[in-house]
Amino acid sequence: MSLGLAIALMGMTTLAVAILLVPLLLRQRFGGSREAYNLTVYRDQLAEIGRDIDRGVLTAEQAEAARAEIGRRILALNPAEQPAAAVTSPVPFAAAIVAVIALPFAAWTIYAALGSPGVPDQPYASRGKANPPTTTAEASPPHDMSEILGRLRKHLAEQPTDVNGWLLLARSTMSLNRFAEAADAYRHAAELSAGQSPEGRLDIIGDWGEAQVLAAGGVVTPQAREAFEKTLEDPENAPRSRYYLALAAQQQGDVKGALQKWVDLEADSPGDADYLAMLRQRITTAATTLGLDPAALKTSSGAPRGPTGPTAPVATAQAAPAPASSTPDPQRVREAEKALQNAPPEDRQAMINSMVERLATRLEQQPDDLEGWVRLGRSYMVLGQPQKAREAYAHAVKLRPDDPGLKKAYAEADAAAK
């Protein structure tokens, strides 16, 4: 910022402060009695009554009543109070002068120490504009995230055997959709974990395989298939591994084999598994490709699929879903978020719809869950279903009729539904 501009701005600040202080100074130096002011007002009102009679606005009776009321107010004044004497002390005026001169200098001194006078202005036309869309799937991370990743990479260069460091780098880059970097970091972590046990950490190997699929644009590479085969015996990783191994079979041309693997996985899955919607969509697509009826499919053991669809229950005797709780389990929430983040774009919507429908089913059994109804209303609004959102918010308003926020949400959903 140039010196001339700084001086001009300081002058403008001084003038503004002076303009604000002048009325206060005049009020102090030439103050008057409140009683005297009220008396002047009452006298003006009496004169106005006479003018109202001349214009025919008031009748004689109304004028007399108004004069009586004003006279009563005049009599109620304190005649002993005298007009306030003019302020003669020069102290307030001197203090005001000091404030007018010192305040701008103090403000600009603080700005010079703490502000950024050397930063160029942003053109007005460019303010508020959205960032230009990226041309790749990897959006640039915030500046502070770049610094964190840089420090982490430097740490791993100095200590390349830090398994937890590689895992942190893998998960961080995965959250930024940098799947190739994440796969490489998972590879380091998987190789290092092999020294902790003969098979290595199966959870890391499974994550590594999934990162390779995402880095390859959804293609199950031979190395990824090998990783999934290693984790088939692990109960926690087996469903994911079975899904991707079936996908690998489909990509190699064995659509029928992939379809059977997915049907068997569906039968072995709990009814509240978050990946069921995505799995059922794969089954429907593969069955349609083969000209088969998805509802008529059977498992390898000959058992029928049973009811199908995004909201159909798929509970089995071996894996019956536990009763729904009004408070979502944090572990399941994290698993659902991870599944949504890593799912292919065409599968995410089906997963979201499935979770929303499960919430609606649970609320039918637990109609007093206020937080659940609010969450369901918000979900329907996001999905573009204002009619269902209105019904959900109506339940919430019944549970808490005095909540203005719920009433506003209901009104917005009602307006969108019309």
pTM above 0.75, yes or no: no
Domains in the chain (CATH in brackets) are 3-114 (no CATH), 154-296 (1.25.40.10), 335-417 (1.25.40.10)
Position 82 scores a pLDDT of 46
Type of residue at 309:
G
- The residue among 255, 254, 304 whose CA lies nearest residue 284 is 255
Position 212 scores a pLDDT of 93
Position 27 scores a pLDDT of 55
Identify which has the larger pLDDT, 293 or 45: 293
Residue 335 above 90 pLDDT? no
Mean of the per-residue pLDDT values of the chain: 74
Provide the pLDDT confidence category of residue 119 given band limits of 50, 70 and 90. low
Token pair 């191994």 in the structure block, residue: 245
Segment 339-367, tens digit of pLDDT = 545 545 445 555 567 678 778 888 888 88
Give percent of the chain above pLDDT 90.
17
Task: Name the phi and psi angles at 324, rounded to 5.
Answer: -70, 140
When mean pLDDT is compared across 140-154, 186-200, 257-271, the lowest value belongs to 140-154
For the segment 105-116, the average pLDDT, to the nearest whole number, is 67
Position 241 scores a pLDDT of 92
Provide the pLDDT confidence category of residue 142 given band limits of 50, 70 and 90. very low
Position 248 scores a pLDDT of 93
Which residues pair with residue 304 across a beta bridge? 298
Position 188 scores a pLDDT of 92
Segment 213-252, tens digit of pLDDT = 999 988 999 999 999 999 888 888 899 999 999 999 999 9
Position 245 scores a pLDDT of 94
